[in-house]
């Protein structure tokens, strides 16, 4: 990944990592926290409100923000979540500390996970709370085979197609489709026409939803 990286504060006060050379962020500069909550929880996990147990696959563990929010979600809703998150280029512990995500969670008992998540060993399942199991997968998505029809929801949080088109390739989207259970859902902040067409070609039923602040639309793709 890019060597030149900066920690910036986004419009809602939460921080993210910015690559000035390619003008790309880990999260929306309009608000990292509000984007994550809107895209992956309000338009993602909230669709499964009737379920007590969920399996989630995340593309891009990155800063661990979505994972931290998923722990909070599991505890708050008393829902058992098995969460698998893939990452090829882990952030450093120093960077994770500087992001200060511990200050974002309303659940004080979860604060230390903001940095501790980054210390957990890769490729093993860890039971973090009564409700949350995490496996961080150290691999390129291109090289990883998802278990077939295993996941209820995929958080597709790759860098945008402008800077990393290979993550949005038709064969990757097909792989996501195969990994989802029937009626499973892939959610992404991306609303590009080509991505939506490729999702359809992979077999998904594609829906647009209003985007988080600063973005008109986002995408839901159902199996």
Handedness of CA 158, 214, 55, 206 (dihedral sign): negative
| Residue 158 to residue 58: CA distance in whole angstroms | 9
**Do 105 and 114 meet the contact criterion of CB atoms below 8 Å apart?**
yes
**Which residues ranging from 21 to 50 are in contact with ligand SAM (CB under 6 A)?**
26
Query: Can you tell me which of 87, 152, 184, 211 binds ligand SAM, judged by CB under 6 A?
Result: 87
| Region of 110-118, 123-131, 157-165, 178-186 interacting with ligand SAM (CB under 6 A) | 157-165
The CA distance from 168 to 153, in Å, is 17
86 lies in the binding site for ligand SAM (CB under 6 A): yes
CA 49 to chain centre: 19
Which stretch, 111-119, 153-161, 173-181, 193-201, contacts ligand SAM (CB under 6 A)?
153-161
19 CB-contact burial (10 Å; exposed 0-12 / middle 13-18 / buried 19+): middle
Question: Are 7 and 17 a contacting pair, CB within 8 Å?
Answer: yes
Residue 22 Cβ, how far from ligand SAM at the closest point, in Å? 12
Q: Which is nearer to ligand SAM, 92 or 112 (CB)?
A: 92
Which listed range, 48-56, 63-71, 180-188, 213-221, lies at the site for ligand SAM (CB under 6 A)?
63-71
Using the rule CB under 6 A, is 141 a contact of ligand SAM?
yes
**Is 154 in contact with 32 (CB distance < 8 Å)?**
no
Angle at 166 between CA 217 and CA 144, to 5 degrees: 105
159 contacts ligand SAM (rule: CB under 6 A) = yes
Task: Please tell me whether residue 157 binds ligand SAM under the rule CB under 6 A.
Answer: yes
Part in contact with ligand SAM (CB under 6 A); list of ranges 60-68, 73-81, 204-212, 213-221: 60-68
Size of the site for ligand SAM (CB under 6 A): 17
Residues making contact with ligand SAM (CB under 6 A): 1, 26, 60, 62-63, 65-66, 86-89, 140-142, 157-159
């Amino acid at each position: 990944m890019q060597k030149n990286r900066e920690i910036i504060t986004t419009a809602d006060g939460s921080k993210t990592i910015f690559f000035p050379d390619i003008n790309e962020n880990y999260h929306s500069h309009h608000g990292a926290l509000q984007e994550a909550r809107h895209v992956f929880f309000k338009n993602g996990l909230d669709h499964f409100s009737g379920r007590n147990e969920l399996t989630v696959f995340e593309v891009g563990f990155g800063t661990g923000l979505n994972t931290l929010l998923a722990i909070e979600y599991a505890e708050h809703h008393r829902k058992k979540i098995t969460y698998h998150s893939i990452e090829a280029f882990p952030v450093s512990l120093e960077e994770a500390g500087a992001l200060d995500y511990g200050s974002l969670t309303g659940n004080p008992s979860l604060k230390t996970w903001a940095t501790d998540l980054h210390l957990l060993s890769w490729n093993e399942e860890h039971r973090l709370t009564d409700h949350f199991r995490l496996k961080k997968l150290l691999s390129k998505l291109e090289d990883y085979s998802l278990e077939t029809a295993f996941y209820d929801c995929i958080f597709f949080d790759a860098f945008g197609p402008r800077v990393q088109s290979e993550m949005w390739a038709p064969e990757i989207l097909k792989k996501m489709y195969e990994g989802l259970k029937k009626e499973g859902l892939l959610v992404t902040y991306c609303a590009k026409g080509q991505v939506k067409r490729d999702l359809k070609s992979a077999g998904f039923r594609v829906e647009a939803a209003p985007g988080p602040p600063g973005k008109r639309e986002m995408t839901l793709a159902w199996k």
